Amino acid sequence: MRRPGYVLSAVALILAGSAGTPAAVSSSFAPDGWDQELRLSEAHDNNPDPKIVEVDLTARVADVTVAPEKAVRAWTYDGRLPGPLIRAHVGDRVIVHLTNNLPRPTTIHWHGVRVPIEMDGVPDVSQPEVGTGGTFTYDFVARDAGLYWYHPHVLSAAQVGFGLYGALLVEDPDDGVGVADELTLVLSDIGFDDHGVLESADSGGPAGMVFGREGTYVLANGKVHPTLRARSGAPQRWRIVNAAKSRFFLLSLEGQDFYVIGSDGGLQERPQTTDSLLVTPGERADVIVTPKGPPGGTLTLRADLYNRGYGSVEFRIPEDVLTIAFSNEPTLAKRTLPTLHRDIVAPPLAGATAVNVELTLPPAGPDGKSEFHVNGVPFWKAKPFTARIGETQIWTVKNSTKWDHPMHLHGFSFLPLDENLKPIRPMAWKDTLNVPIDGTIRFVVVFDERPGMWMFHCHILDHADGGLMGHLHLLPGSPE
């Protein structure tokens, strides 16, 4: 059944408030030093041109401290965990000079960004691997506002798990949100022993691959259980990315609300209030929180149990992610939250090409090895999917496994249509969308003028390495 609001026509994008009326810039209410424990280091912009952000990044092994007495010899960008925050304005050109001082080759993939294929960071498809001592320059325009992130695309499960990831924040000063106290929150995890030695990337063998390995320490901006200070009743804007290679974050704030205003590709159609926020690997969420509590008291941001497959809830307890410590100021009088609206209209579905994708996990072979299949074959046996420039495709992704799979498409944002035939609303641009156990999702995507070999895969990176990945060959020329 089609509901009236479900009529889909030409792609349009209008942000309420961006048509000349300057957004009200609200003042800061947060106590001094409120984000001191969580503030990310920022990459230094070496280019005087205000429209160009040009930074150097060095990938290298470094000792980082995630908690008192807990240091790990991690793989880092610039010795930081997470890597430095790269901050740009929408429309800026971003130039990143990567130097690889790791003992292994690497690359950088700009997750969610509409880059040309040469900048997508996939070895042998978009660029050669950057060997030890080598360099590569990434150069692209940040066309869309939103929170994006960067990570390697060589042995991704290992390299991301070892600490290689960072946030790319593309700001739109006219987005109309008007919350001054803003925090970029990179959620992840890491595993290491008492000597600070990283857990091996193949721990747990084939079962570890099938589950998707999670690190023992849950990190918020590289820290175990840090403290964020707040004034009770004062709004804060959190831009969240899940950079863990397998862990899901089902966030809750002791029953208080998240006012969700955006997702992977910037603001969503309209805000939505929830007390439970799921952010699967690779996904982003843009939320306003207005934590309330007695002056001097605390509130805990927790990651609750979420069933993404056997082993994710059995014998496990929720994790504390961070503590909010309230200042002694009285609770701020109630503030009205911005009523944001973004027109997001899907392209015409009539005439779109149907693409069917089924995810399966056949029984393990006699050697005990398992592999995930996409349409009956693992990545290494698959032929590329194809598309033509200008083509609209509707992907139906059916999950016939007993594990969730957050599916990511490189280079293109798509619009989710439905999950198990139930419309997904509010509409939001996504590049990563979870397909739950035994579930089916549909999304629509239009391929623009960037031909090349693009990847899609599960962002449980162990699953991707275990076969749950494919190529999409975007051919020049228009569809017949």
Number of helices (H), then strands (E), belonging to the chain: the values are 3, 30
Cβ proximity to Cu ion: between 145 and 460 the closer is 460
Beta strand 227-230 with 277-279 is unpaired
The residue type found at 156 is S
Cβ proximity to ligand C2O: between 128 and 295 the closer is 128
For residue 463, state whether it binds Cu ion (rule: CB under 5 A).
yes
Beta strand 182-190 with 217-220 is antiparallel
405 binds, among Cu ion, ligand C2O, none (CB under 5 to 8 A by kind): Cu ion
For residue 394, state whether it binds ligand C2O (rule: CB under 6 A).
no
Among residues 84, 282, 411, 436, which is the contact residue for ligand C2O, using CB under 6 A? 282
Q: Which residue is nearest to ligand C2O (CB)?
A: 111
- Footprint (CB under 5 A) of Cu ion, residues 114-153: none
417 binds, among Cu ion, ligand C2O, none (CB under 5 to 8 A by kind): none
- Footprint (CB under 6 A) of ligand C2O, residues 102-121: 109, 111
Is residue 286 a contact partner of residue 237, using CB atoms and an 8 Å limit? yes
Backbone angles phi, psi at 181, to 5 degrees: -85, 105
For residue 157, state whether it binds ligand C2O (rule: CB under 6 A).
no
Least gap, CB of 409 to ligand C2O (angstroms): 9
460 binds, among ligand C2O, Cu ion, none (CB under 5 to 8 A by kind): Cu ion
The Cα 25–Cα 373 span in angstroms is 50
For residue 458, state whether it binds Cu ion (rule: CB under 5 A).
yes
Is residue 299 a contact partner of residue 291, using CB atoms and an 8 Å limit? yes
With a CB cutoff of 8 Å and minimum separation 6, the contacts of 300 are 253, 254, 320, 321, 322, 323, 324
Least gap, CB of 463 to ligand C2O (angstroms): 12
Among residues 247, 457, 463, 471, which is the contact residue for ligand C2O, using CB under 6 A? 457
Among residues 115, 433, 460, 469, which is the contact residue for Cu ion, using CB under 5 A? 460
Cα 150 from chain centre: 9
Least gap, CB of 179 to ligand C2O (angstroms): 27
The Cα 253–Cα 298 span in angstroms is 11
Query: Tokens 């880059």 — which residue?
Result: 115
Q: Which stretch binds ligand C2O (CB under 6 A): 65-73, 76-84, 394-402, 455-463?
A: 455-463
Least gap, CB of 401 to Cu ion (angstroms): 8
Least gap, CB of 253 to Cu ion (angstroms): 28
Classify residue 403 by burial, with Cβ atoms within 10 Å: 0-12, 13-18, 19+: buried
- Footprint (CB under 6 A) of ligand C2O, residues 135-154: 151, 153
The residue type found at 333 is A
With a CB cutoff of 8 Å and minimum separation 6, the contacts of 392 are 347, 348, 349, 351, 352, 353, 444, 445, 446, 447
Among residues 80, 405, 410, 457, which is the contact residue for Cu ion, using CB under 5 A? 405
Cβ proximity to ligand C2O: between 192 and 379 the closer is 379
What is the number of alpha carbons within 13 Å of residue 12 lying toward its C-beta? 10
Least gap, CB of 468 to ligand C2O (angstroms): 11
111 binds, among Cu ion, ligand C2O, none (CB under 5 to 8 A by kind): ligand C2O
Q: Which stretch binds Cu ion (CB under 5 A): 34-42, 222-230, 251-259, 450-458?
A: 450-458
For residue 410, state whether it binds ligand C2O (rule: CB under 6 A).
yes
Size of the site for ligand C2O (CB under 6 A): 10
Conformational region of residue 66, where left means phi above 0, alpha means psi within -120 to 50, and beta covers everything else: alpha
Q: Which stretch binds ligand C2O (CB under 6 A): 14-22, 139-147, 363-371, 453-461?
A: 453-461
Q: Which stretch binds ligand C2O (CB under 6 A): 69-77, 125-133, 316-324, 451-459?
A: 451-459
Cβ proximity to Cu ion: between 84 and 309 the closer is 309
The Cα 235–Cα 154 span in angstroms is 39
Classify residue 20 by burial, with Cβ atoms within 10 Å: 0-12, 13-18, 19+: exposed
With a CB cutoff of 8 Å and minimum separation 6, the contacts of 344 are 12, 13, 268, 269, 415, 427, 428, 429
Among residues 114, 292, 408, 430, which is the contact residue for ligand C2O, using CB under 6 A? 408
Binding site for Cu ion (CB under 5 A): 405, 458, 460, 463
Binding site for ligand C2O (CB under 6 A): 109, 111, 151, 153, 282, 408, 410, 455, 457, 459
